[in-house]
Structure 1
């Protein structure tokens, strides 16, 4: 029985292998049939549903499970081109189903090429915002649920290391440009050499100045031979942009180009002209009047979004408020989009991060509180409502200065918009409440200041100056409408005015005053200026306090200074003017320049100007005109006030001076003229090179010897000075000790008798007599003691050598 059982196992294995072979063969037949159907597909035929397209069974089942049956206009035309592998430029209105127009060709093309994990990255889809990338990825998961492809979402705000570990196994990637470039530069195992398809959603936004460098860097990593598809509601047609992407005979698919309007026909569009300070009040009144609606409010900057959200949240309008901007963390942004999508009634304050591609269900109103930067941005903003042929409404708030220019742009883009007026009796003001809240809450006041500055900056940086006229906006009233006590200082506006004033010619600034008639000048003189005490305070001079003292001064010749004259006050003012520049740098003269200093002092009224400029005053000539010497040039005659002013400007004096010599500094900091190479002929004219070399060495040797002698003399002088200082210090110490001993013993009237102890010199004895220092005992030979004369002998008496001599001296002292 055992052998029979063994014989049966190979039969089961062969049965399984045959099943796999049949399945593989059936799959290959389906793919070959699918390829044939795609080749036979006629692009010109009008297609109504997804079943009319040559799609694989997994894709068709995924579309059916996601309830996608009917094709939109952009899908009917773009998918057929995409299946044939052509490059596409797709443009259609917002909410027309552009996402499926590129996702279906991506999945089908990879399926027909039997793409597996081992083949690497097959398709790359770029999105300008994280929210749109998440939305595309969710759509990809729905329609591709029956395929075996591996797909990944690469956006900022997530762990880079986790993404790096999985990226090598991905077949389809949905990503933002910045994060994608980071992986291309840093992830070692990530390769794009086998890429088949590149898709850019919202292509005009990705290719503009904000992403230009990033997209160029990404394209450098990608292969040239690939299929490229660009989709947007406002498609780019710039030749430079298309050349950067290496498009090959792209098909321009624009289904609504011949339409009467660039926006959906189910969208009701209105605008209202409201002065800037009344926009917050109008927004509050609108929210209170539409508590049962779902609304998106667009603002220019994230700081404005934050302030409007916080301020109106404190006022409790009775509806859920949310806010979304680019500075939020990724987790918070996902929570906000999820809450707003699921909410039945809510208000979302947002920037243009939300303006492109996001599909929030059942949005009733789109309010644009701030004017968009161009008509394309307006189209993308209002596209958040009236999606997939649903009904929606949009309102644009325009300042009177923005109305004319922006309506012209909308007319050029075929955007139908109607003006409406707001009933004044239904408008409520929250200005006082905002001021009260800002007074109580410093954080809210800080947010208001930042919102004001960011709004003004957003207007200032706009390129279209026909629409955005910052000088016509009532900024002070706008700051008060935000609850601020006053408009914050804005540096860039002040800097622009200063630049204009600086560039204005001095002559043009004074031309109007020269053209005035005498009558006008007379009227100006007759007008009395209002002078405050501060004006008078700043006109005072400290020297004016001592006017009486100056009038009583005596001249050098003994005469009194003239008093009671009209010029007394003038003299005081002149002295005040001279002291006004007390911080100016005066010339300093070396020790041997006394004569030059006397010349400058004797230059009269021109001394101030000479001290600031490199001039040398000279004596007056016979006509009394002063002359000034300028670097050995011809003397400059000071014969007018204009010449006196000329002396104060170093720049204007340059044309009267000679050419200076350029100095360089060596390693020791000594200045000398630049060394120049000598002419070879001049060198040979002086003699043989060997002779010149010997002569040079002799001169340098002599110079070195003289320098050595001078250095030795300097060292001797230093030693001599040091020795004299030491002797003087010793004499001073001896005198101080003698005085201390006399005071201590009370014997200052007696003659001082020095004691010499054999075996020690006099200096050690002096040190032993000091009570303040530690006693020192020094031992020396008698020969040394005999050679050194005693320094402490002041009398001609005999020296004490024995104990008897000491007793005899003591008895003599005691009488």
Structure 2
């Protein structure tokens, strides 16, 4: 009998299989729509674009719903896996224009952890990389990709342990190249998308070698996205990155202005030495604003920050520059982001891409290197259709060239004047700070040198003219007593005016020849020490600490003040002249041979000054005006009040003095008694040790003869000789008060006792 065959029921498909099938269908639908990306050029919302559901969900949770102009034009092209060059104004939303394609392209490729690195985003600064990574986390929370931030600031081995597992990397060029060279197992062979944010800055000379080395490690079959506010279109740069038929998207290229419409821009022409005064006055009148101040160097940023912290303008002050540690820079970035009213002193490290919310003013204290840098700096305010203000400070030598640059870049800017009655001077306070705090003085010297060097190194010499800057006045405005000497300024002077430099050299040689004809002064080691100059820091006035030339009689033009010139006729005695000349020569020779201490004794003494709270100098002891003196009453009333007040103080002091004297006497008496007690104890110990034991008795027994004699002495009331008394026969015989003792045998009978009594009577 054959077995009965039953029909098996069909298995239901699992939810995972269904989900994968639906995802694949959605991906194919998106691929079909993106074959014609130009059809999405009029989209207004993210939901109108062919994006994955996970990306749309992340954008909705992050609060992004409406497209900006750059996103509307660049996103469809980037989603279609085309190379894009995107240029748009600052604050126009370029970050989302490349982050959304990165997420969706990897999603459509079913990218997972085993596939390795799929997208690489390179940023020129660490702060901008941190900001990009924060936005990536917000919109990519629903995706399953692993993302990492490689910017340095941490130990290399900590990043090496995880970098090989990342699908998306946000990195700075230097740190990325370091991992490519040193991290085992890290490769970019499967890279799908390369993004360069602020591409014009990355492609310039500062990152040229690094970017070339990075690109060599990347596969040529990839998609490349370049975004910046001022985009590069150099054929050489595009060839380096292996771009294939790139789409150039410049949404504001035909715009009337290259800066945001709601950005109000002004410039001020002022002298170099007045910049800090104007800045302080500006801050004092904008205490309820959020301000960013750009300077040209890290040393300037730190000096201005430390000085303004001491001035206490009444608003929180923060500083950000490249010399700070990475963790501190990130903390400062986040701290300023959450501040409502604050002033941030920074370098160009914060000029590109950083999104500080609600910035009211951008003040460019130092002139930017070009118009592009100005646009990036000013773009920190008036972001996303918000209002903002920008102020540029120019010295007279920079005005013409910089305004021409801005005009060519279609930057609308107007001049404003500073009200003299509203301007406050802080030069006296800075001088006080430098006088009291050596660190502030050192920072001021470094800031001076750094600013002069930054001007000297600029490429556009029609704007930056270091030889025409008022160096002495600028150093004085920083609170410095003298102007630090720097070599490159002399080189610039020679390059600008060789004829002028030649004339100066000839005059210097003539002065040296005239000096050689006069009296030669002996050179000592102290002379050579004070003639040495540190070309970077020390000031010229340090060389004048010891003025040997001033010791000569009749030398130099300075001696003409309040001196009597000799007439042209001969004096009565020529011998007197010879003696005076000889005496002067001898004095100069002696001074040359003097030591450092002797010169210090003979030199004029310095004058000690004190500074009040406003930074004004005063003498240590100053006489009071009569009017101020009489405010407290006439002289007799003040005298009586002083005597009365002092008398009360003296009474209190007298009571305290008497109590103190009494205590001292009691202590002295106690110490004297203690010394006497110690002396008695010591004498008793010495007396008990002397004469009690016989030196010749080996059995340590008592000497009977000495014992009997001591008993006899006790009976007659005599005392034993102390350790400090002399045992001389002359003293025993010469003492009239000492009684004689007869040596007799012990009496046994009455007759013997009577005989002993007669002897004693006869001895008396």
Question: TM tier, shorter chain?
Answer: 0.5 to 0.7
Tell me the equivalent position of 1:407.
403
**What does the per-residue CA deviation read over 1:582-629, in whole Å, with 9 as the maximum and x for residues that have no partner?**
xxxxxxxxxxxxxxxxxxxxxxxxxxxxxxxxxxxxxxxxxxxxxxxx
Tell me the equivalent position of 1:671.
none
Corresponding position: 1:241 with 2:237: yes
Tell me the equivalent position of 1:97.
93
Tell me the equivalent position of 1:384.
380
Shift of 1:159: 2.3
Tell me the equivalent position of 1:49.
45
Equivalent residue runs for 1:97-496 within 5 Å? 97-496=93-492
Shift of 1:40: 4.4
Corresponding position: 1:536 with 2:532: no
Contact 1:401 / 1:468 at 8 angstroms: preserved in 2? yes
Tell me the equivalent position of 2:658.
none
Contact 1:152 / 1:172 at 8 angstroms: preserved in 2? yes
Distance 1:507 1:29, change over 3 A: closer
Shift of 1:504: 10
Shift of 1:536: 2.3
Tell me the equivalent position of 1:796.
none
Equivalent residue runs for 1:578-727 within 5 Å? none
Distance 1:296 1:45, change over 3 A: closer
**What does the per-residue CA deviation read over 1:154-173, in whole Å, with 9 as the maximum and x for residues that have no partner?**
10112211211111111110
Of residues 15, 22, 28, the one that matches 1:19 is: 15
Shift of 1:469: 0.6
Contact 2:467 / 2:489 at 8 angstroms: preserved in 1? no
Please give the alpha-carbon distance, in whole angstroms, between the structure 2 residues aligned to 1:327 and 1:224: 36
**Local SS of the residue matching 1:312:** helix
Distance 1:122 1:274, change over 3 A: same
Please give the alpha-carbon distance, in whole angstroms, between the structure 1 residues aligned to 2:350 and 2:128: 8
**Local SS of the residue matching 2:242:** coil
Distance 1:498 1:93, change over 3 A: closer
**What does the per-residue CA deviation read over 1:706-738, in whole Å, with 9 as the maximum and x for residues that have no partner?**
xxxxxxxxxxxxxxxxxxxxxxxxxxxxxxxxx
Please give the alpha-carbon distance, in whole angstroms, between the structure 2 residues aligned to 1:66 and 1:298: 31
Shift of 1:44: 6.4
Please give the alpha-carbon distance, in whole angstroms, between the structure 2 residues aligned to 1:205 and 1:43: 32
Please give the alpha-carbon distance, in whole angstroms, between the structure 1 residues aligned to 2:497 and 2:376: 41
Contact 2:37 / 2:77 at 8 angstroms: preserved in 1? no
Shift of 1:37: 2.4
Please give the alpha-carbon distance, in whole angstroms, between the structure 1 residues aligned to 2:127 and 2:63: 23
Shift of 1:308: 0.2
Contact 1:43 / 1:81 at 8 angstroms: preserved in 2? no
Shift of 1:474: 0.4
**What does the per-residue CA deviation read over 1:649-670, in whole Å, with 9 as the maximum and x for residues that have no partner?**
xxxxxxxxxxxxxxxxxxxxxx
Contact 1:269 / 1:395 at 8 angstroms: preserved in 2? yes
Tell me the equivalent position of 1:565.
none
Please give the alpha-carbon distance, in whole angstroms, between the structure 2 residues aligned to 1:537 and 1:359: 69
Distance 1:500 1:54, change over 3 A: closer
Please give the alpha-carbon distance, in whole angstroms, between the structure 2 residues aligned to 1:501 and 1:177: 41
Please give the alpha-carbon distance, in whole angstroms, between the structure 2 residues aligned to 1:57 and 1:488: 64
**Local SS of the residue matching 2:442:** helix
Please give the alpha-carbon distance, in whole angstroms, between the structure 2 residues aligned to 1:540 and 1:55: 87
**What does the per-residue CA deviation read over 1:297-325, in whole Å, with 9 as the maximum and x for residues that have no partner?**
00000000000000010011110000000
Please give the alpha-carbon distance, in whole angstroms, between the structure 2 residues aligned to 1:430 and 1:248: 57
**Local SS of the residue matching 1:405:** helix
Tell me the equivalent position of 1:601.
none
Distance 1:159 1:509, change over 3 A: closer
Please give the alpha-carbon distance, in whole angstroms, between the structure 1 residues aligned to 2:499 and 2:162: 59
Shift of 1:88: 0.5
Distance 1:215 1:540, change over 3 A: closer
Q: Give runs of ≥4 in structure 1 deviating > 3 Å.
A: 40-45, 495-510, 529-535, 538-541
**Local SS of the residue matching 2:291:** strand
**Local SS of the residue matching 2:450:** helix
**Local SS of the residue matching 2:38:** coil
Please give the alpha-carbon distance, in whole angstroms, between the structure 2 residues aligned to 1:506 and 1:132: 50
Shift of 1:180: 0.3
Shift of 1:31: 1.7
Structure 1, gaps ≥5 residues long: 1-9, 511-523, 542-815
Equivalent residue runs for 1:70-81 within 5 Å? 70-81=66-77
Contact 1:197 / 1:226 at 8 angstroms: preserved in 2? yes
Please give the alpha-carbon distance, in whole angstroms, between the structure 1 residues aligned to 2:502 and 2:346: 49
Greater relative contact order (Cα < 8 A, sep 6+): 2
**What does the per-residue CA deviation read over 1:535-590, in whole Å, with 9 as the maximum and x for residues that have no partner?**
7223999xxxxxxxxxxxxxxxxxxxxxxxxxxxxxxxxxxxxxxxxxxxxxxxxx
**Local SS of the residue matching 1:204:** helix
Distance 1:154 1:531, change over 3 A: closer
**Local SS of the residue matching 1:264:** coil
**Local SS of the residue matching 2:279:** helix
Moved more, 409-418 or 495-504: 495-504
Please give the alpha-carbon distance, in whole angstroms, between the structure 2 residues aligned to 1:20 and 1:539: 99
Distance 1:88 1:283, change over 3 A: same
Shift of 1:346: 0.3
**What does the per-residue CA deviation read over 1:786-809, in whole Å, with 9 as the maximum and x for residues that have no partner?**
xxxxxxxxxxxxxxxxxxxxxxxx
Please give the alpha-carbon distance, in whole angstroms, between the structure 2 residues aligned to 1:24 and 1:502: 78
**TM-score normalised to structure 1 length:** 0.61
Please give the alpha-carbon distance, in whole angstroms, between the structure 2 residues aligned to 1:155 and 1:505: 48
Distance 1:239 1:157, change over 3 A: same
Please give the alpha-carbon distance, in whole angstroms, between the structure 2 residues aligned to 1:33 and 1:275: 64
**TM-score normalised to structure 2 length:** 0.65
Please give the alpha-carbon distance, in whole angstroms, between the structure 2 residues aligned to 1:178 and 1:105: 25
Please give the alpha-carbon distance, in whole angstroms, between the structure 2 residues aligned to 1:484 and 1:316: 21
**Local SS of the residue matching 1:401:** helix
Tell me the C-alpha RMSD between the 2 structures. Answer: 2.7
Please give the alpha-carbon distance, in whole angstroms, between the structure 2 residues aligned to 1:251 and 1:374: 27
Please give the alpha-carbon distance, in whole angstroms, between the structure 2 residues aligned to 1:505 and 1:180: 48
Shift of 1:500: 8.1
Please give the alpha-carbon distance, in whole angstroms, between the structure 2 residues aligned to 1:355 and 1:18: 53
Shift of 1:495: 4.0
**Local SS of the residue matching 1:174:** strand
Shift of 1:115: 0.7
Shift of 1:233: 0.2
Contact 1:79 / 1:101 at 8 angstroms: preserved in 2? yes
Please give the alpha-carbon distance, in whole angstroms, between the structure 2 residues aligned to 1:324 and 1:463: 25
Distance 1:19 1:153, change over 3 A: same
Moved more, 382-391 or 166-175: 166-175
Please give the alpha-carbon distance, in whole angstroms, between the structure 2 residues aligned to 1:123 and 1:55: 18
Distance 1:507 1:264, change over 3 A: closer
Please give the alpha-carbon distance, in whole angstroms, between the structure 1 residues aligned to 2:258 and 2:494: 44
Please give the alpha-carbon distance, in whole angstroms, between the structure 1 residues aligned to 2:116 and 2:522: 84
